Amino acid sequence: MNSNNPFFKNKAFTNTSRAEDTVHEAKVIDYNQTMSVSGTINKSFLMLILLVASAAITWIMTFNGQNPMIIAIGGAIVGFVLVLIATFKPQYSTFLAPGYAIFEGLFIGGISAIFEVMYPGIVIQAVSCTFVTFMVCFGLYKYEIVKVTEKFRSVVIAATLAIATYYLISWLLSMFTSFQRVDQGNSWMSIGISVFVIVIAALNLFLDFDQIEKGVQQKMPKYMEWYSAMGLMITLVWLYIEFLRLLSKISSRD
């Protein structure tokens, strides 16, 4: 039941007893309701709408000559904090998930606008690539062309952890030394690394789909729809940013 998306890796998705899941939960939760696929999809679309609406704020700021970075970075930090809270307190996802979409949208809008100024047309390309990747992965999973086995899951988890470790160590080294990350620049090696990261991010989607399906089968509480939608949104945001980076590297070679 492990997922390569760290957001899904907590007791809310590992307890097999629904009674254990509801111990010490907030009284506002209706325990007679259970998680459904359609409910998760609807909440994912709602979160996407909130994210896009929020992103429009920092996007407009940029093209009006204002610097959106303070708000964008602030949004990213708050969004990360909300994810951490939801990881330990999934019963509050009903409020945390929409909040994450709004604050993360501020970050996405600012970053997207900056890339768009540097490389006109890159945002619509990144959005299209993300959407197509999502639909392809969903179709492959739905029709069981790709099945999530324990080996599949283990490989993706290991690759994701390796990428996260590399990003963290590289970020720390670049802060205190003159270390240059090999994934920066527009070299073919850098482009190859970006392609690899995008593939791993896309494979995350299969595990997220599988985790959502298992949550429905285990009759998880209704609030887990928000929790699952939030986890799926995290993967999509990661995939979108990686597409932005890849396309910018390719564009800079022209």
| Structure token digits, residue 75 | 């949004």
Residue 104 lies in a domain: yes
Residue 107: other Cβ atoms inside 10 A: 27
> Is 23 within the bounds of a domain?
no
Q: Report if residue 103 sits inside a domain.
A: yes
What pLDDT sits at residue 59?
Answer: 96
Question: What is the model's pLDDT at position 200?
Answer: 96
What pLDDT band is residue 173 in, cutting at 50, 70 and 90? confident
Residue 198 falls within a domain, yes or no?
A: yes
Residue 28 has pLDDT above 60, yes or no: no
Q: Is residue 55 situated within a structural domain?
A: yes
- For the chain, the domain total comes to 1
Range in 57-61, 132-136, 156-160, 163-167 the model is least confident about: 163-167
pTM for the model stands at 0.85
Q: Is residue 146 part of a domain?
A: yes
Residue 147 forms part of a structural domain: yes
Average pLDDT over residues 124-146: 96
Q: Is residue 12 part of a domain?
A: no
**Residue numbers of the domain that contains 139:** 33-252
Instruction: Please spell the DSSP secondary structure of 83-135, one letter per residue.
Output: HHHHHH-GGGHHHHHHHHHHHHHHHHHHHHHHHHHHSTTHHHHHHHHHHHHHH
63/173: higher pLDDT: 63
- Give CA separation, 213 vs 8, 36, 217, in Å: 13, 8, 6
Identify the residue whose tokens are 């610097």.
67
Q: Provide the 10 A C-beta neighbour count for residue 9.
A: 17
Query: In whole numbers, what is the pLDDT of the chain averaged over residues?
Result: 87
- Say which range, 108-117, 174-183, 186-195, 202-211, has the weakest mean pLDDT: 174-183
